[in-house]
Amino acid sequence: ISWKFTILSEKRELESYYELARSITKNSKGSALLLALDEGFNKMRELGANEKAVIFTESRRTQRYLKEMLTEKGYNVVMFNGQNSDSDAKRIYEWWIEKHQYDDKITGSKTADMRAALVEYFREHADIMVATESASEGINLQFCSLVVNYDLPWNPQRIEQRIGRCHRYGQKYDVVVINFLNQKNAADQRVYDLLSEKFKLFEGLFGSSDEILGSLESGVDFEKRIQEIYQNCRTAKEIDDAFNRLQEELDEQIRIKMQETRISLMENFDDEVREKLRDNYEQTTIQLNKLERFLWNLSKIEGQREALFDDNSLSFIRDKKKYQLMSQIKKRENTNNVVHYRLSHPLAEKWVNQAKSRELIPKEVTFRYCDYQGKISVIESLVGTDGWLYLDLLNVESVETEQYLIFSAVDNSGNQIDQDICEKLFLLQAIEHEEIEVPNSINNTLQYIKECQVEAVLNNIMERTAEYMDSELEKLDRWAKDLKMKLEAEIDELSVEIDYLKKESKSIRNLQEKLEMNKKIKELEKKRNDMRRNLYDQQDQIDEQKDVLFEEIEVKLQQKVTKKHLFALKWRII
């Protein structure tokens, strides 16, 4: 019997668990469980996570065995099953009733109250909950981050339900999943491979198999198919052939379902959602990130007289050289004689600077959402409206230099248009019309909006500076406190040793030995004095660092703010 680890999270704080999984092999199932819990709790202790684990098993008999084994090893164990009628459960229930006799947590339903009592006892007192399938639904264990499938079911939905007890909103740490399986059993191994590889049950984000399960009738039907293989196949070859047939069937169903899902996403979701799709199909300009889109569109405008652009391949030809947008290189096999085009490329820098240096006069512009290939809901709702827009560049110099684009915009009804909507406008194709003059009333309104947004940006910078100062001061205070405690502990140890030697010295009759002892005492006293001086020196050093920090903050407070008006336009969306 051997077992496997899986981590479900984005943060990846517990990568060391993979090393742990590799180190625990060829152990009995019980021994592996004990070692996993011991090492797992050590890792959690280092991270500051709760040292708690929930172990799922299929039968109450196994549950009782695990409770006895773990209790003998010193763990505080609580059991959870469909009956919850053992003496420990009754004792916990009485404790819970007495604790909450004056509040509104008691529902009056003994079954519901018993479940709540066991969960609360697990949260506040127990180290481990050993549970049957009855605990896989209806309870929240986000205070626990270690899930053990001691008996691994074949139904993917049951596994997701188990993991979902801990991997849910409110969970602060990586959820570690330990799965036990008999790797010498070919059928068990193939079942695990299907659950892991096809249903993605153990890869990063909980719930990633939802769409796949939806295309396979139900987890119960899948479990029946697995049972048929176990019942009808006798040799390793028969098992392997049966699973190959099942896997081919799953591949086809999953492929069709994912294709339908992709089409639905492309037709109905915003570009911000579609940008998150990552697949092996050829990318289009719709799937570029915001910066790449801006670079590509700007390059087409500024370089239209110097190069021939192709939107389909996101490439252009200039001076007989072929340039291709950097993000597309990985998608193509043949990149010979292609220059990688990116923001830091000299040609891109030339076109960007060329665009920035141009003086722009106020004009009327029609944004054509009707020609846009994607979907932007906030723009879609503005089709048919018109208004005015200013764009200004805000430059803030302190310890660092920060730049912000400040959009100020209103529609003809006087409603302010948000900054992010203004940014999205410039993803659209547009038609430039005649020069215009901005009315004084519109100018005053847009100037007022601009000043409010500038003030908000400056306030945000000040808040970040204050948070930075508080964070740095807290670090220095913690360092000073830890250093003081460490040095004081060492000084106390030396003082105890000095007192002991002085006492010993009084009982020594040999003059030479007494002199040697006193010499040693003097050396220790000198060392103690040096440590005391070092403590004061370290505190002075910390005070100096605080002074440097305050000087940096003072410089940040002396902000040099400059504003540059870039352009004004009257807009219309069709």
Can you spell out the DSSP letters for 475-499? HHHHHHHHHHHHHHHHHHHHHHHHH
Could you write out the DSSP letters of every residue in 520-568?
A: HHHHHHHHHHHHHHHHHHHHHHHHHHHHHHHHHHHHHHS-EEEEEEEEE
518: which 2 tokens?
A: 């006193």
Q: Return the pLDDT at 193.
A: 72
Burial class (CB within 10 angstroms; exposed 0-12, middle 13-18, buried 19+) of 562:
exposed
Best CA proximity match to 66, nearest among 105, 92, 36: 36
Q: Return the pLDDT at 265.
A: 56
Q: Return the pLDDT at 21.
A: 52
pLDDT in tens, 125-171: 999 999 998 887 788 898 998 888 888 777 777 888 888 888 877 78
Specify the amino acid at residue 188: D
**What distances in angstroms separate CA 322 from CA 295, 336, 338, 339, one per listed residue?**
17, 10, 5, 6
DSSP assignment, residue 517? H
R_g of the chain, CA atoms, integer Å: 34
DSSP assignment, residue 183? T
Tell me phi and psi for residue 553, to 5 degrees. -65, -40
| Residues 368 and 574: beta-carbon distance below 8 Å | yes
Sign of CA dihedral 443, 449, 453, 458: positive
66: which 2 tokens?
A: 């695990």
CA 445/CA 338 separation, integer angstroms:
49
CA 145/CA 13 separation, integer angstroms:
12
Could you write out the DSSP letters of every residue in 374-418?
A: S--HHHHTTTT-EEEEEEEEEEEESSSEEEEEEEEEEETT-PBPP
Q: Return the pLDDT at 167.
A: 82
Q: Return the pLDDT at 383.
A: 92
Q: Return the pLDDT at 221.
A: 64
341: which 2 tokens?
A: 């085009």
Q: Return the pLDDT at 210.
A: 47
Give the distance from CA 187 to its chain's centroid.
35
Instruction: Indicate the pTM of the whole model.
Output: 0.46
Exposure on the CB side of residue 557, measured as CA atoms within 13 A: 8
Looking at the chain, which residues constitute the CATH 3.40.50.300 domain(s)?
Answer: 1-181
The residues that bridge with 474 in the sheet, in sequence order, are: none
Give the distance from CA 372 to its chain's centroid.
32
Q: Return the pLDDT at 532.
A: 84
- Let me know the angle formed at the C-alpha of 534 by 529 and 538, rounded to the nearest 5 degrees: 155
CA 560/CA 246 separation, integer angstroms:
68
| Residues 113 and 90: beta-carbon distance below 8 Å | no
CA 331/CA 313 separation, integer angstroms:
11
Residue reference for tokens 């969960």: 119
289: which 2 tokens?
A: 């990130």
Exposure on the CB side of residue 391, measured as CA atoms within 13 A: 18
Q: Return the pLDDT at 280.
A: 39
Q: Which residues of the chain have pLDDT under 50?
A: 1-4, 7-19, 22-23, 25-26, 204-218, 278-286, 328-333
The torsion of the CA quartet 244, 246, 252, 258, rounded to 10 degrees, works out to: -110
For the chain, first and last CA: distance in Å?
A: 66
3-state secondary structure of 290: helix
| Residues 131 and 54: beta-carbon distance below 8 Å | yes
Sign of CA dihedral 269, 270, 273, 277: positive
521: which 2 tokens?
A: 């005492």
CA 480/CA 551 separation, integer angstroms:
20
CATH code of the region 1-181: 3.40.50.300
